[in-house]
Chain A
């Protein structure tokens, strides 16, 4: 039913106009399509993508460097570390993953620090589709969500039909969250309609059942301009969250990339009234890193985003460093790494 130039978003103005920047600033409709052209074609989407404000890389680096000097101490540090735990999507995405591995990871996710029950559970565990049933079973009743990667993660190089089938099966297995990848090849060759349409159709499958995170794989996009454009396209198409990376490509998440995506989220909410979440993933390994991300989040989007509902860290090795710092803040002593479980 899709794939033509018609949109499924209801009757619209038939002019092939694009939403200009100034329109975006004044339009506040509770509908994300309000930023989109009347008729959605590759040509009108190309104009939409080009209307996204450009990004000055030097300026972004400078802002990030300035925010990196924020000095987070005492209570504010403890608050940040506990929040970082609650925001974590504890991840294992390996060919060698097994039900046993998933069970161990789930136990860690539910109770990160066995000797300190005040440390909260993480937000979710993030796994490959085949592991979803085991993950569901292991975290049942704990409040920890199961996120599954989909759409031929990590490359996305498969025909749309097969990707949709994969998504449908993962949703049917009960995944709470779907982390899909965009087709970067299509995006970089200007096939915006294909990218848009895939996100939109995956969203249709998820709708009401699973939360959709859209991975841009920013390490392959080349410039911050393209990061911002891809962010807007993904949000307009239906992303609940936008996510930096698969973790399989270097560089993965960086703070400058995250800042640009947060700024796109801010513009998108201004234009549509729709709040979108953010997930940097890959390469975030230390508490210090995590706190820097939270500073950028807090000073760019403010307190409404300071919750796991709207921000996640995709990470596999960050958790233990955060636990170590929490222990240090509580006791004044660093514990050796062997006091924290390796799962």
Chain B
């Protein structure tokens, strides 16, 4: 009988590189400011460079808007509001938003690749999480645009006017969607400033909005650093300021707006507690914890960065976490099999490194998998700390990186007390099979979102926002409309 060649015994299986092509993205060498429906050279005459954080290669030159540029953008937004957009019927506004949502879906691959190029996040996430949520957000608020009277029965909702919006670098397009979709649905016009390290997807969005036929001035995108943002929020003709970013900057904005009649919503930092009871579905809780802290390299304001594990299962849980950490695929964000991508900037990498050093100095025990990191670009290994005390900096300060601080607790009361013992209050997670305990915990945790037996779930219908120093105001859902309407104080 015919025999075959002997086959090797066991397979050490390595996935071949599977790189998403970047051909679909056509970058221009230099980008102006998108004001009044056109890209315009900045009055400042200044540009800055945006780089790919995974390679440190320059991607494009982007305009740096000064106060005069900001003024031009706000004027364009005001004119657009006064000359039609503010009076346009909800049905007509909805048409634009639906059209934008569909165009985002059609061009989602292009936008996902650009988001990954400019920001460093894995293509798997920008493709499967960011872009679907961006489109969903526009679809959702498109649906509200002609139903505002039904959202607030018996009241007369009216737009505020010009919204000045400043967004962060961790979810550039998603944060843009969270800001622009409700603002436009409610009848406002906007001036939006993307973060200086991730401006490109917002500029691509501006092109798309223009192709959608949106009237000039309804959306204006200005790029620049902190001073540009300050000029925008302080501009006297801005009616409403929406900011997502650090608590420190949020406080400065609140101070600068004190005494004005501008409306303000802030979505700031977090140091979320992720609480694991001993009756939790352990292996799914492991996945939840991994997703909670390593999703988007931990650059997530609601990241589950403080893990509280019931003492009875602490050691076993940590062992399982360590094992799982070793299977995370860290590297080229454009590889479709990458789980953890590049740190967004050299500055952020320095901050993460500083806090991790502080954790070691303060006596916490660090664990990192022995994964290889690329030579160029900004990288940080997924990191666990055990033996962490509430008083350690890594338990108190927002690291905004792939670093998890693990602590233990004995009783539900203790878990709640420790979880709430932070100036922040954006989100929390609870894992237990006991339904009554989930409700008991959710009643007591001071957090805008409490996830039960899951983590990092977002839906445009669900409001998102903070307690305490994590900010105020809600984005998403019917609640998200409140921030962009007057006459609806309930």
Contact = CB atoms under 8 A, between A and B. Distances in A.
Contact of A21 (B1, B3, B124, B313): B313
Q: Which interface class (under 10, 10 to 19, 20 to 34, 35 or more) fits B?
A: 35 or more
A60 B453 CA distance: 11
Given A69-B336, A82-B7, A74 B16 contact: yes
B489 interface: no
Interface string B93-113: 000000000000000000000
A72 B281 contact: no
A62 B285 CA distance: 12
A63 interface: yes
B4 A121 contact: yes
Contacts of B283: 53, 55, 59, 263
Given A141-B1, A142-B3, A59 B13 contact: no
A237 interface: no
Given A54-B281, A54-B433, A306-B12, A120 B18 contact: no
Interface string B396-428: 000000000000000000000000000000000
A59 B4 contact: no
Nearest to B316: A25
A77 B279 CA distance: 39
A59 B11 contact: no
Contacts of A307: 9-11
Contacts of B336: 69-71
Contacts of A263: 283
B128 A77 contact: no
A337 interface: no
B288 interface: yes
B355 to A, nearest CB: 28
B14 interface: yes
A21 B16 contact: no
A305 to B, nearest CB: 8
Given A22-B313, A22-B316, A59 B5 contact: no
Contacts of B4: 110-111, 117-121
Contacts of B5: 117-118, 120
Contact of A58 (B2, B7, B16, B454): B454
A335 B1 CA distance: 26
A255 to B, nearest CB: 15
Contact of B15 (A55, A56, A76, A121): A76
B2 A79 contact: no
Given A54-B433, A59-B453, A111-B2, A71 B13 contact: no
Interface stretch (A6-14, A170-178, A181-189, A296-304): A296-304
A83 interface: yes
Given A25-B316, A25-B319, A306-B11, A76 B16 contact: yes
Nearest to B432: A54
Contacts of B18: 71-73
Contacts of A338: none
Interface in B278-292: 278-285, 287-288
Contact of A62 (B11, B13, B287, B319): B287
A22 B327 contact: no
Interface string B266-299: 0000000000001111111101100000000000
Interface in B126-142: 128
Nearest to A305: B10
B256 interface: no
A141 B2 CA distance: 10
A21 B13 contact: no
Contacts of A75: 16
A26 B312 CA distance: 12
Given A60-B284, A70-B337, A71-B336, A298 B278 contact: no
Contacts of B288: 59
Nearest to A110: B1
Contacts of B211: none
A142 B1 contact: yes
A86 interface: yes
Contacts of A131: none
Contacts of A76: 13-16
A294 B128 CA distance: 22
B315 interface: yes
Contacts of A56: 281, 284-285, 453
A80 interface: yes
A82 B2 CA distance: 18
A173 to B, nearest CB: 21
Nearest to B328: A299
A239 to B, nearest CB: 20
Interface string B158-201: 00000000000000000000000000000000000000000000
9 tightest A-B CB contacts, nearest first: A59-B284, A25-B316, A307-B10, A71-B18, A56-B281, A71-B336, A56-B284, A120-B7, A306-B11
28 contacts: A22-B312, A22-B315, A55-B281, A58-B453, A58-B454, A59-B281, A59-B283, A59-B284, A59-B285, A60-B284, A63-B284, A63-B287, A70-B15, A70-B336, A71-B15, A71-B336, A71-B337, A74-B16, A79-B11, A86-B7, A110-B2, A119-B4, A121-B4, A142-B3, A294-B13, A298-B13, A304-B10, A306-B12
Given A56-B285, A69-B124, A69-B128, 5 more contacts: A58-B453, A75-B16, A83-B13, A86-B7, A111-B2
Interface of B: 1-5, 7, 9-16, 18, 124, 128, 278-285, 287-288, 312-313, 315-316, 319, 327, 336-337, 433, 453-454
